[in-house]
Amino acid sequence: MKVYLDNAATTPIAKEVITEITPYLTDHFGNPSSTHSFGRKTKNAIEITRKKIADLINAENSEIIFTSGGTEADNMAIRSSVHDLGVKRIITTKIEHHAVGHTAEELKEKHQTEVIYLETDEVGQVNLNQLESLLNNKTKTLVSLMHANNEIGTLLPIEKVAEICDKDHILFHSDTVQTMGHYPFDTKKIKIDFLTCAAHKFHGPKGCGFLYQNKHIQISPLITGGAQERNNRGGTENLYGIVGLGKAMELAYTHLEEHQNHIQSLKSYMMKSLVDIDPKITFNGETNPNKSLYTVLNVCFPMNACNSMLLFSLDIHGIAASGGSACSSGSNKGSHVLAELPKQENCQSVRFSFSRYTSKEEIDFTLSKIRSIIKNE
């Protein structure tokens, strides 16, 4: 049996999405910038998708900018805030995705942008009192805090942060790559300036996403050389990626509650079963279902000779999981997120992440293999 439990890294493309994309790989191939009928056909498909996505998050069409994914969208938001909007200070945390953390550090080094890191507690929750105290300052500021941590699943109270920032007229960017398509968003209710999305996190194609940019903000393109995306991003559009993104997002929100209930039940079941296997097993990050991303479970296994190679052993049994963020799996560095959490000594951490296609049978198979590995059966 093959079991895929690394859905926070990427998800399989939904069959309905493949069906939607196929005509744009075969018949409808015109360049969207061309004025003839072939180009008009594909340009229309892009604009229909833009409206579909805008409607799903209660935004305006002009506020959706298609990108290559979450990393580019995060870079657009953060770099443009400094270069175009006069931001001199970025407030963030040390447990953000590297698309945010490394970008902020580079701006600090090359543009003398001040970077302040908020404190996070033992489960990765941000110190909101500290945030409020830091905003009593006239320095032009961008707050960049991810909605859900991609490694430990801790959820940010995004509405509360938005209120705090709006009160002091502070720019607010949230990396919503792990939550877009998994939680509802209403940009008319949340006072936020930038949201980001990657289609492959909710059964869409890789290489496509979008930046939501509040209509009251004007920024320069990060990529120049063309007038695409209303002069916001140069380069021929990823036509079939955009079409696939729209279909994947439509499917995600049409059946959202059903998907949430299914996945949360699997996560809760796995948590209880793991503790039954070994009471010394604990969990990294927030475990309260109302404060934790339902698709992610980060497990801390007590270190011993049997489970020191747990990830490798699971892979041998056909089970895919992660030891941290897959986006940096090419490096040998440990997780920067887990490094900020306490009690990491003598602990082997594994991230299991679920999707709507994950079954209880797959969880049971995984649990049986974990039991045999850690008990050396």
Residues identified as active-site: 327
Distance CA 210, CA 76 (A): 10
- Smallest Cα–Cα separation from 293: which of 127, 162, 123? 123
Angle at 59 between CA 174 and CA 238, to 5 degrees: 80
Sign of the alpha-carbon dihedral angle for 302, 307, 308, 311 = negative
DSSP state string for 35-83 = -SHHHHHHHHHHHHHHHHHHHHTT--GGGEEEESSHHHHHHHHHHHHHH
Distance CA 205, CA 195 (A): 19
| Three-state SS at 209 | strand
**Rg, the chain, Cα only:** 21
242 burial type by CB count under 10 A (0-12 exposed, 13-18 middle, 19+ buried): buried
| Three-state SS at 126 | strand
Distance CA 255, CA 257 (A): 6
Distance CA 102, CA 108 (A): 10
CA–CA distance from 174 to each of 6, 8, 299, 334 (Å)? Answer: 23, 17, 25, 24
Which DSSP letter does residue 12 get?
P
Distance CA 117, CA 107 (A): 14
- Smallest Cα–Cα separation from 182: which of 128, 263, 239? 263
